[in-house]
DNA sequence: TCGAATGATTGGGA
DNA sequence: TCCCAATCATTCGA
């Protein structure tokens, strides 16, 4: 390479006026004849080919000379314009993508489960449902629930840590690329729009990684949720007190054992179960009572007697019982809880 | 271990 | 949407 004839004149001081280091033919005057132009192009190509042979100082000097050249801004503008009209216009049309429906689904799910968005006490629909279903009856259910919440919190923490990492990496990389491009824009035509496009490409790449993270987080939540719901299927009998309250209501409203929504809510609160469980219980009770009245007769008599005693106590103490099991229909009292005048058919 | 009891689920009807 | 009826799945006690 050293044997190559050097056609550059920069270090020898041969160049255009005011721009030492640039050959005169870059001034734009050019040769009048074709041979002269060919010679100029040959010179430039030769310079490019041999630029790697230059010392750092020489390269720096040439770079500086290029940057200071009076035609440089105009030339770069033209080149940027051409680039924009060709590549960018084509890509620009492709960039206008609608929001990814899958990503929206993932975001919605993470939000609903309380993984993303503001931290909620308990977080998820499953946890809420579970909380309602367990109704706080028994320590086991609440223990299961708190275990569920703890695991959900763990998932949430991992998700946010990873998300933060990705965002940080994305920002660092974007800044790095932007600096690099800005630096390069001094020596090659790079428009701000092009830098912007590059940034959006980087963001897209990182958001696809984020989508993977969201997907695996969703999967983890689904697994946790299904395990939890499976565990919930292992039913527990209601405690004795809850069964007594329900039975008292049932037998005291035997002529119309259909509690209204308000009565169900009150019973649910008293028994620490859900309204749905109250409905289930009454549904089961009605049908089982109807199927075998004889078998339930003893139970019915017992609750009727208890109700009568309660009523007597209440009246002698002049107090008003506010229980939904307040004696009424069994003793002929109309119940405000009746939703309609129905009987077990 | 087995049968009864019991809470939950499902499908159909009004 | 609520209820009934049948059924399932689990618990509990003998």
d(CA A47, CA A63): 13
| CA–C1' gap, A289 and C5, in angstroms | 13
Residue A319, domain member (yes or no):
no
User: How many Å from the N-terminal Cα to the C-terminal Cα in chain A?
Assistant: 107
Residue A107, domain member (yes or no):
yes
Residue A186, domain member (yes or no):
yes
Taking all residues of chain A, what is their mean pLDDT, rounded to a whole number? 71
Q: Which two tokens stand for residue A299?
A: 């139970």
H/E run at residue A102: helix A101-112
Q: How far is CA A244 from CA A92, A262, A267, A279, in A?
A: 72, 19, 11, 16
Which carries the bigger pLDDT value, residue A272 or residue A220? A272
Confidence of residue A288 (pLDDT cuts 50, 70, 90): very high
Please state, for a pLDDT cut of 90, what percent of chain A lies above it: 13
Which carries the bigger pLDDT value, residue A196 or residue A249? A249
| CA–C1' gap, A131 and C9, in angstroms | 21
Please state, for a pLDDT cut of 70, what percent of chain A lies above it: 61
d(CA A146, CA A277): 21
Q: Do A149 and A256 sit in the same domain of this protein? A: no
Residue A343, domain member (yes or no):
no
Q: Do A160 and A227 sit in the same domain of this protein? A: yes
Confidence of residue A50 (pLDDT cuts 50, 70, 90): confident
Residue A196, domain member (yes or no):
yes
Q: Do A303 and A259 sit in the same domain of this protein? A: yes
Determine the protein residue whose CA lies at the shortest distance from the C1' of B6.
Answer: A237
**What residues are paired with A338 via a beta bridge?**
A259
Question: Which residues get their CB within 7 angstroms of nucleic chain C?
Answer: A 233-237, 258, 261, 279, 282-284, 286-287, 290, 339, 342, 344-345
> Of residues 239 to 278 in chain A, which lie within 7 A of strand B by their beta carbon?
243, 276-277
The per-residue pLDDT for range A291-321, each reduced to its tens digit, is 888 888 888 888 888 888 878 887 776 544 4
Domain boundary among A235, A267, A283: A235
Q: Do A175 and A293 sit in the same domain of this protein? A: no
Give me the pLDDT at residue A335, please: 36
Q: Do A209 and A152 sit in the same domain of this protein? A: yes
d(CA A238, CA A252): 20
Confidence of residue A54 (pLDDT cuts 50, 70, 90): confident
Give me the pLDDT at residue A120, please: 52
Residue A49, domain member (yes or no):
no
| CA–C1' gap, A252 and C9, in angstroms | 31
Average pLDDT on A279-298 reads 91
Give me the pLDDT at residue A209, please: 85
Which carries the bigger pLDDT value, residue A157 or residue A222? A157
DSSP one-letter code for A19: B
Strand C nucleotides, any atom under 7 Å from protein beta carbons: they are 2-7, 9-12
What's the number of domains chain A is made of?
A: 2
Q: Do A107 and A176 sit in the same domain of this protein? A: yes
Nucleic strand B near CB of residue A238 (< 7 Å): yes
Strand B nucleotides, any atom under 7 Å from protein beta carbons: they are 5-10
Determine the protein residue whose CA lies at the shortest distance from the C1' of C2.
Answer: A279
Q: Do A175 and A265 sit in the same domain of this protein? A: no
Q: Which two tokens stand for residue A26?
A: 């870059």
- DSSP characters for A266-301? HHHHHHTS-HHHHHHHHHHHHHHHHHTHHHHHHHHH
Local structure of A214: helix, strand or coil = helix
Nucleic strand B near CB of residue A126 (< 7 Å): no
Q: Do A155 and A225 sit in the same domain of this protein? A: yes
Q: Do A224 and A169 sit in the same domain of this protein? A: yes
**CATH number of the domain where residue A304 is located:** 1.10.10.60
Determine the protein residue whose CA lies at the shortest distance from the C1' of C8.
Answer: A233
Nucleic strand B near CB of residue A235 (< 7 Å): yes
Residue A149, domain member (yes or no):
yes
Give me the pLDDT at residue A284, please: 94
Nucleic strand B near CB of residue A292 (< 7 Å): no
The per-residue pLDDT for range A131-145, each reduced to its tens digit, is 444 444 444 455 556
8 A C-beta contact, residue A280 and residue A288:
no
Q: Do A222 and A245 sit in the same domain of this protein? A: no
Nucleic strand B near CB of residue A284 (< 7 Å): yes
Residue A131, domain member (yes or no):
no
Q: Rounded to 10 degrees, what is the CA torsion of A48, A51, A53, A54?
A: 150
| CA–C1' gap, A286 and C4, in angstroms | 9
| CA–C1' gap, A266 and C3, in angstroms | 20
Q: Which two tokens stand for residue A12?
A: 């020898």
Parent domain of A204 = 101-111+142-235
The per-residue pLDDT for range A78-131, each reduced to its tens digit, is 777 777 777 655 555 455 566 777 788 788 778 877 787 776 544 444 455 444
Determine the protein residue whose CA lies at the shortest distance from the C1' of C5.
Answer: A287
Domain boundary among A185, A202, A235: A235
Tell whether pTM > 0.85.
no
């Amino acid at each position: 390479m050293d044997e190559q004839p050097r056609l550059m004149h920069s270090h020898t001081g041969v160049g255009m006026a005011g721009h030492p280091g640039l050959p005169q033919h870059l001034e734009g005057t050019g040769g009048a004849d074709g041979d002269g132009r060919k010679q100029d192009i040959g010179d430039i190509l030769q310079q490019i080919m041999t630029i790697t042979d230059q010392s750092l100082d020489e390269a720096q000097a040439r770079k500086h000379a290029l940057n200071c050249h009076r035609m440089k801004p105009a030339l770069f503008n033209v080149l940027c314009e051409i680039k924009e009209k060709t590549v960018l216009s084509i890509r620009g049309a492709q960039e206008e993508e609608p929001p990814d429906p899958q990503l929206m689904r993932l975001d919605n799910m993470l939000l609903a489960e309380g993984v993303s968005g503001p931290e909620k006490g308990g977080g998820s629909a499953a946890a809420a449902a579970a909380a309602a279903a367990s109704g706080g009856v028994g320590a086991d259910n609440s223990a299961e629930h708190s275990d569920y919440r703890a695991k959900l919190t763990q998932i949430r923490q991992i998700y946010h840590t990873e998300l933060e990492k990705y965002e940080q990496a994305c920002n660092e990389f974007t800044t790095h690329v932007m600096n690099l491009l800005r630096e390069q824009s001094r020596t090659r035509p790079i428009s701000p729009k092009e830098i912007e496009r590059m940034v959006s490409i980087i963001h897209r790449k990182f958001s696809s990684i984020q989508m993977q993270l969201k997907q695996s987080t969703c999967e983890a939540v689904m697994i946790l949720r299904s395990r939890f719901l499976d565990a919930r299927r292992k039913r527990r009998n209601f405690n004795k007190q809850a069964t007594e309250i329900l039975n008292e209501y049932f037998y005291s409203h035997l002529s119309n054992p259909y509690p209204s929504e308000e009565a169900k809510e009150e019973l649910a609160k008293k028994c620490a179960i859900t309204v749905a469980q109250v409905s289930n219980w009454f549904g089961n009770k009605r049908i089982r009572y109807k199927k075998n009245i004889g078998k339930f007769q003893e139970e019915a008599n017992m609750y009727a007697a208890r109700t009568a005693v309660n009523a007597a106590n209440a009246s002698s103490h002049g107090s008003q019982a506010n229980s939904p099991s307040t004696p009424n229909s069994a003793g002929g009292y109309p119940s405000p809880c009746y939703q309609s005048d129905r009987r077990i058919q």
